[in-house]
């Protein structure tokens, strides 16, 4: 049985909200002052403390003045796509005419600015390459660009290694010596900050007046920032919450990119009532599907276009790719679970688990690792063959295991075991020789075992405790819905309680729809539990259960009702 814990509330914090429940929820998430809950743009951290920011602005200003040929090299996920689109749109709005982009095909070239990608990009004769959401580990790629007379400007947020590329400038809040306190910026957030600094400099030198250019409002790009930030599951610190909230406001007010609105339409969602849940679990997967199965350029084009008809056409293609991705993922998950079953009982599994199947689709490895991580409560790396000699892996981790640090430690203790790796706390990617897989699997299990206890491996569900009966209503659900944005590092409120079953029915072949009865108030409420174990549920032999849930709102025929979204059914009888 999983262990339920209650988030502790520090003493001595003055009122953060007039509602006692919301005060407790905020305090339990480390909020100590009301200012941390203010989401106006004026509260954004200034860009001045970003290391190399002045040099980067100088490089881009030179490119603008000389109308150089600039090539944006992005990444093949939602953060990379939004970063690429933002860089192109912003630089065009600032007056740059010669700009294009290149997204490495993950199956041919892998991740980042490799020498091979430089060779492909060199055919376009760029004067400057700007990396977005990648580049911090591209030592060989930057060297190849320099040898070809191409300057490189790196923007990235992934954790750097000991050695850095010899670029013209590197904008990454996580590099050594950087004093910018918002270390959790996504790649798209880094690009946004660079464009803010560039615009300010251009204003100071009279660029807009001299060239008869209307000074752009950078807020127009915040929908892209919100999407990329939430999709990349970076920590929603105060700065990121401002970016996400402001971007969500633009989307809801109809000021978002037509491509984002088209993705909402094809997903049968109303963008005027968009939530961060929609960004992370509805829109981002469709955008990511292009990079996972085909070419992320399709996703970038969806974000770049101003033509609603073209946007809807691309959105339908992305939706079809996402359906295909789901089918592939389902098959891979079944195979992976059989591999796990072959390791016998769950308690005999290693604390850090590696699974490998030569034929698995590389583009879906990250999703597979995430599903297994959630099910088995431990870090998981899923591997597939990239060629006859090498395998690639995608890692997903749990809260108290920094996965990139784990890989770094393994590499230091076992030189040559890992060919290359990169990532951040919760997700990482790596490559290694196929012959090294057994040794790496053991090294991974041993290293992760230094961080996890047996209790951790059983699964821990962190909650905000039992919800008092007086707050068990639609008003509280609406209050919490508006109190975010919730996400990684700023978890949406979860509660636990015991309820009686009034009704159970399976919907959509794998979701459990319930009518639950509150044991104290006798109030009946609808509830939904997604991706249930159909070997157990529905089961009318059970009369009540302890569940972990969040308060949701079910809106149908212009009526809004309280609905419980069940995260876990902990016990039942």
- DSSP labels for 17-36? -SSHHHHHHHHHTT--SGGG
Place of tokens 């308060």: 551
Same domain? 221 vs 83: yes
Q: Which residues contact 467 (CB under 8 A, 6 or more apart)?
A: 21, 476, 495, 497, 551
Same domain? 105 vs 252: yes
Same domain? 127 vs 268: yes
Same domain? 386 vs 266: no
- For residue 156, being part of any structural domain is answered with yes
Token pair recorded at residue 181:
């306190």
- For residue 341, being part of any structural domain is answered with no
Kindly report, residue by residue over 252-298, the tens digit of the pLDDT: 999 999 999 999 999 999 999 999 999 999 999 999 888 888 788 99
Whether pLDDT at 12 is above 90: no
- For residue 333, being part of any structural domain is answered with no
Same domain? 21 vs 68: no
- For residue 526, being part of any structural domain is answered with yes
Same domain? 445 vs 470: no
Q: Is 50 helix (H, G, I), strand (E, B) or coil?
A: coil
Domain-terminating residue out of 434, 458, 482: 458
Same domain? 283 vs 416: no
CATH number where 8 lies: 2.40.50.460
Same domain? 444 vs 531: no
Domain-terminating residue out of 431, 458, 485: 458
Whether pLDDT at 61 is above 90: yes
Which pLDDT band holds residue 344 (cuts at 50, 70, 90)? low
| Alpha carbon separation from 351 to 192, 377, 381, 413 (Å, rounded) | 39, 9, 12, 19
Which pLDDT band holds residue 1 (cuts at 50, 70, 90)? low
Mean pLDDT over 70-74 rounds to 97
Mean pLDDT, rounded, of the chain: 92
Whether the CB-CB separation of 207 and 64 falls below 8 Å is answered with: yes
Same domain? 311 vs 238: yes
Whether pLDDT at 22 is above 70: yes
Number of domains observed in the structure of the chain: 3
Q: Which residues contact 251 (CB under 8 A, 6 or more apart)?
A: 223, 226, 260, 261, 271, 274
pLDDT at 345: 46
Closest to 488 measured CA to CA, from 558, 396, 562: 396
Kindly report, residue by residue over 482-496, the tens digit of the pLDDT: 999 999 999 999 999
Kindly report, residue by residue over 346-379, the tens digit of the pLDDT: 457 899 999 999 989 888 898 899 989 988 889 9
Same domain? 418 vs 479: no
Domain-terminating residue out of 435, 458, 481: 458
Spatial separation of the C-alpha atoms in residues 258 and 308, rounded to whole Å = 6
Same domain? 432 vs 558: no
**Rounded (to 5) percent helix, strand, coil in the chain:** 45, 20, 35
Range of the domain at 510: 3-30+461-572
- % of the chain exceeding 90 in pLDDT: 72
- For residue 326, being part of any structural domain is answered with no
How far from chain centre, in Å, is Cα 40? 23
- For residue 261, being part of any structural domain is answered with yes
Same domain? 398 vs 529: no
HSE-up (13 A, CA, CB side) for residue 494:
19
CATH number where 173 lies: 3.90.1640.30
- For residue 339, being part of any structural domain is answered with no
Higher pLDDT, 511 or 226: 226
- For residue 329, being part of any structural domain is answered with no
Mean pLDDT over 532-554 rounds to 88
Which pLDDT band holds residue 42 (cuts at 50, 70, 90)? very high
């Amino acid at each position: 049985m999983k262990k339920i814990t209650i988030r502790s509330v520090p003493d001595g914090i003055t009122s953060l909200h007039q509602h006692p429940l919301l005060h407790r929820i905020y305090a339990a998430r480390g909020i100590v002052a009301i200012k941390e809950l203010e989401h106006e743009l004026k509260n954004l951290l200034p860009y001045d403390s970003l290391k190399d920011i002045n040099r980067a602005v100088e490089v881009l200003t030179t490119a603008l003045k000389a109308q150089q040929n600039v090539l944006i090299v992005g990444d093949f996920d939602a953060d990379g796509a939004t970063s690429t689109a933002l860089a192109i749109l912003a630089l065009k709005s600032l007056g740059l005419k010669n700009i294009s982009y290149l997204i490495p095909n993950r199956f041919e070239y892998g991740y980042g600015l490799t020498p091979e990608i430089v060779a492909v990009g060199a055919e376009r004769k760029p004067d400057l390459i700007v990396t977005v959401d990648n580049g911090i580990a591209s030592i060989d790629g930057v060297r190849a660009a320099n040898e070809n007379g191409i300057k490189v400007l790196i923007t990235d947020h992934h954790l750097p290694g000991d050695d850095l590329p010899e670029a013209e400038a590197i904008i990454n809040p996580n590099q050594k010596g950087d004093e910018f306190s918002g270390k959790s910026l996504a790649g798209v957030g880094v690009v946004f900050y660079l464009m803010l600094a560039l615009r300010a400099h251009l204003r100071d030198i009279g660029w807009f007046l001299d060239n008869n250019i209307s000074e752009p409002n950078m807020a127009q790009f915040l929908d892209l920032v919100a999407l990329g930030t939430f999709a990349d599951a970076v920590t929603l610190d105060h700065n990121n919450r401002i970016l996400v909230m402001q971007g969500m406001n633009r989307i809801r007010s109809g000021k978002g990119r037509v491509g984002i609105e088209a993705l909402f339409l094809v997903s049968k969602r109303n963008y005027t009532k968009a939530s961060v849940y929609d960004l992370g679990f509805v829109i981002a997967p469709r955008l990511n599907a292009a990079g996972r199965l085909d070419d992320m350029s399709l996703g970038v084009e969806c974000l770049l276009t101003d033509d609603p008809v073209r946007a809807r056409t691309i959105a339908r293609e992305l939706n079809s790719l996402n359906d295909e991705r789901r089918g592939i993922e389902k098959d891979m998950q079944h195979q992976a679970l059989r591999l796990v079953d072959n390791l016998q009982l769950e308690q005999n599994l290693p604390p850090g688990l590696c699974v490998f199947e030569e034929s698995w689709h590389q583009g879906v490895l990250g999703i597979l690792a995430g599903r297994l991580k959630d099910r088995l409560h431990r870090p998981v790396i899923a591997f597939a063959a990239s060629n006859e000699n090498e395998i690639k892996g995608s890692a997903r981790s749990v809260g108290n295991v920094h996965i990139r640090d784990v890989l770094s430690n393994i590499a230091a203790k076992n030189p040559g075991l890992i060919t290359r790796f990169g990532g951040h706390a919760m997700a990482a990617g790596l490559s290694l020789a196929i012959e090294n897989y057994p040794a790496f699997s053991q090294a991974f299990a041993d290293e992760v075992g230094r961080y996890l206890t047996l209790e951790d491996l059983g699964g821990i569900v962190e909650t905000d405790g039992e919800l008092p009966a007086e707050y068990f209503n639609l008003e509280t659900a609406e209050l919490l819905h508006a109190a975010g944005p919730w996400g990684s590092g700023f978890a949406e409120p979860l509660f636990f309680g015991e309820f009686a079953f009034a009704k159970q029915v399976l919907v959509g072949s794998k979701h459990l729809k319930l009518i639950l009865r509150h044991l104290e108030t006798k109030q009946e409420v609808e509830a939904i539990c997604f991706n249930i174990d159909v070997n157990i549920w529905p089961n009318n032999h059970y009369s009540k259960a302890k569940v972990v849930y969040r308060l949701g709102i079910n809106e149908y025929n212009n009526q809004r009702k309280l609905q419980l979204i069940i995260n876990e059914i902990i016990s039942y009888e």
